[in-house]
Chains A and B, each alone.
Chain A
Amino acid sequence: MSDVVKTLTAEELERRANYEKLANVIDLYSGKEGCLIQVLHAAQDIFGYLPYEVQQFVADNMGFSVSHVSSVSSFYSFFSTTPKTKHEIKVCLGTACYVRGGKALVEKLQELLGIGIGEATSDNFFSIHITRCVGACGLAPVVVVDEDVHKQVKPGDLAGILEQYRGAEV
């Protein structure tokens, strides 16, 4: 029982620390014009995503209505209102990657993980996303896992790439 109380407190502490961080960021931008998007970037960095409460907090502290904050956050593909998975797999479907076989990579990944685009595995470990050009066209087709760029990927390489991340867990 006491363990549960402890974990809750730890989570609550982290939550409060995160909101404090965000409040500092908003302070930093006060006095500058038009910084909502920059603040949302910072908020997503801190919380991992932008749940309703965070958007509400941003709205209250920057003097916007929450509907305005939501209209901005929902416009841009970079902002997410759902929690991130442990690892995000992003398959580039920019022109160069598309021409060099990006589509086959998406299909193979869906087959390997048994999930669709934008979906997460049941253990919240991987999710598959389509990304716009990441500017690594010289290495097409690329698959980006979190921040790692895997270059010139063939469908047959994918199982091995996934294993690198699964394996690192053990």
Chain B
Amino acid sequence: MRINDVKDLKKIADRYLAEVGKYEHTIYVCGGGGCLSSKCQDTKAFIDSYIKYRGLSEKVNVVFTGCMGTCAMGPVVLIEPERTYYVHVTPERAKDIIDSHVIAGDVIEEYTFFDNALGKHIPCIDDIPFFSEQVQIVLNKCGKIPFDSIEAYVAKGGFTAEAKALGMTPEEIVDEVTRSGLRGRGGAGFPTGIKWSAGMKAPGENKCIVCNADEGDPGAFMDRSAIEGDPFCLIEGMTIGGYAIGAKQGYVYCRAEYPIAIERFNKAVEIAREYGLLGRNILGSHFDFDIELRIGAGAFVCGEETALMESIEGDRGEPRQKPPFPFESGLFGYPTIINNVETYYNIAEIINKGADWFASYGVGRSKGTKVFALAGDVVNTGIVEVPMGMPLRKLIYEIGGGITDGKAFKAAQIGGPSGGCITEQNLDTPVDYESLTALGAIMGSGGLIVMSEDTCMVDTARFFLQFIQDESCGKCTPCRVGTKRMLEILERIVSGKGTLEDIDTLNGLANVIKDTAMCGLGQTAPNPVLSTIANFREEYEAHIVDKVCPAHICSALAKYYIVPELCKGCTLCARNCPVYCINGKAKTIHTIDQDKCIKCGTCISNCSFGAIVRK
């Protein structure tokens, strides 16, 4: 059926709510990326068939949703009305849960969420700090509705903002977005309202609106989760944006590494067309708009807006010189506005609830919320959305549950290969654009990698440089050659062949590349090196002067020792050593000849007594 106005939306919402309201229980099975990797499809299939087998189909509604957030605990399941949050729900556990919880009314506490910081199970999702400390604007429907149901989306208020926006003038929409203080969530933080205003004022019959879903920062998976869990919200946000700037065509550029996001979004677009929410005369108005998804092909640089446009046009993803800026001459030469996925997910709420409501969240010039992908050495890895300005400590320890295995915190890498690291002493810094920039990091797209004491910061810097080297498109010399030279120096340092001058050379090169590279990728590429030198200079010096890797990560600097008290003299290590550098007869304590050792680690993997250590 076609939706022509708000009344039609209400009809759909009422019908859907009446339909789901008749069930006694609703079982939400998370179908987010993390849970899919944990085989949640099997759990869902089992629950479906077991509910039928127990004759509960009339009483229990089973819903397959997007990401709920706790990605390492999959498959996760939420049961309403009790709002009990079960983790690691294998089909076996699902059977227990249905028998005990759904049928007998007894919550199985040991299957519920375990809060590491508090050291106990917390059955109700509303009591779990991981969830209760969050403020969800972007993710307010993700994980709470079936991702493929437009009725469910409408029942949660979906498309009412679009209906409202189509009754406003473009100027009014741009003004609302400007006053909300919303800034681009892709990294740079450019005010969205100002960008839209430029797009609106740009002359031309044909304009384009583009969504950058080329979430390339390693360690970031927020946009993936949002699209997979709530694809209609992106359609609504882009349609409002298209109307505001006068674009008839929208493009979503999604990376090829996200096949599930691509599949679910394409399906949502088809459904939206059927309902008259894309195409001609949207919602009974005179506005025509459509969206096409274009798939990337594995190039990090395509996250840069001008390279992204080249790629949508089917060419090599090499950045263009600016000016002209995209709003003047962008995709196919038309005025083009490009925003990140998360930016569009804020739009509907801003239109519905107003700029002042949105601006009531956040601090200073950073309004609203930010979605982070928590990963690395943190207990609760996953997706979280917090108000801007929350101290990093709270994010990592209360929401994230602290560091894994009780290790000590060393640094948080924020902003991916363009960002920097935050150290222990700055953990109380509020997470907002300005504070992070002042620390030499950036907000970035939201990848937040927590690193424990077991991480070598020099090796981390080398890792990012290696990444940049692989992904540099080669168009400009500072990025192509400069980052190569930086990588060579870092490789020297991690293999114990560095000199103290190398640190100065790195700093010098880094600053030249920052100033002269053509696009954002090159200009920000040196950041992880500058940031680690500024915060962990002593680690660089340890590698160079003492020839030691304090975290015992860098293979070339590692030394292997046999602990005499633990060695049983079984000769297994000596027999397997490829360079015969382990001495000792059977039943006597063995020793390693450090001069001959090639640090391959074969001895460690062969020792059954844990008698060999790497230092």
Contacts and interface: CB of A to CB of B under 8 A. Distances in A.
Given A132-B298, A149-B37, A72 B316 contact: yes
A134 B34 CA distance: 11
B449 interface: yes
Contact of A137 (B295, B300, B381): B381
A36 interface: yes
Contacts of B158: none
Interface in B281-316: 292, 294-300, 311-316
A22 interface: no
Contacts of B473: 75
B314 A41 contact: no
B449 A76 contact: no
A34 B296 CA distance: 13
A139 B380 CA distance: 11
Chain B's interface size range is 35 or more
B339 to A, nearest CB: 20
B290 to A, nearest CB: 12
A95 B416 CA distance: 8
Nearest to A142: B37
Interface string B361-389: 00000000000011111000110000000
A78 B299 CA distance: 8
A87 interface: no
A112 to B, nearest CB: 12
A139 B72 contact: yes
A29 to B, nearest CB: 10
B217 interface: yes
A98 interface: yes
Interface in A44-82: 71-72, 75-79
Given A36-B314, A137-B219, A75 B381 contact: no
A23 interface: no
B381 A140 contact: yes
B335 to A, nearest CB: 16
Interface string A85-123: 000000001111011100000000000000000000000
Given A78-B297, A95-B449, A135-B224, A33 B33 contact: no
B38 A37 contact: no
Given A76-B317, A96-B376, A34 B312 contact: yes
B72 A138 contact: yes
A77 B297 contact: yes
A136 interface: yes
A95 B37 contact: no
B332 A34 contact: yes
A166 interface: no
Interface string B189-224: 000000000000000000000000001111111001
Contact of B375 (A35, A95, A132): A95
Given A37-B314, A99-B376, A137-B381, A76 B298 contact: yes
B336 interface: no
Contacts of A162: none
A16 B513 CA distance: 51
Contact of A139 (B37, B332, B467): B37
Q: Which 7 pairs, one residue from A and one from B, show the smallest C-beta to C-beta distance?
A: A138-B71, A94-B218, A76-B297, A36-B314, A137-B375, A78-B298, A135-B221
16 contacts: A33-B314, A33-B332, A37-B294, A71-B316, A75-B299, A95-B416, A96-B375, A96-B449, A99-B451, A135-B220, A136-B33, A136-B71, A137-B381, A138-B72, A139-B71, A142-B37
Given A33-B332, A135-B215, A138-B381, 11 more contacts: A34-B314, A75-B473, A76-B296, A78-B256, A79-B298, A94-B218, A136-B221, A138-B375, A142-B37, A149-B36, A149-B37
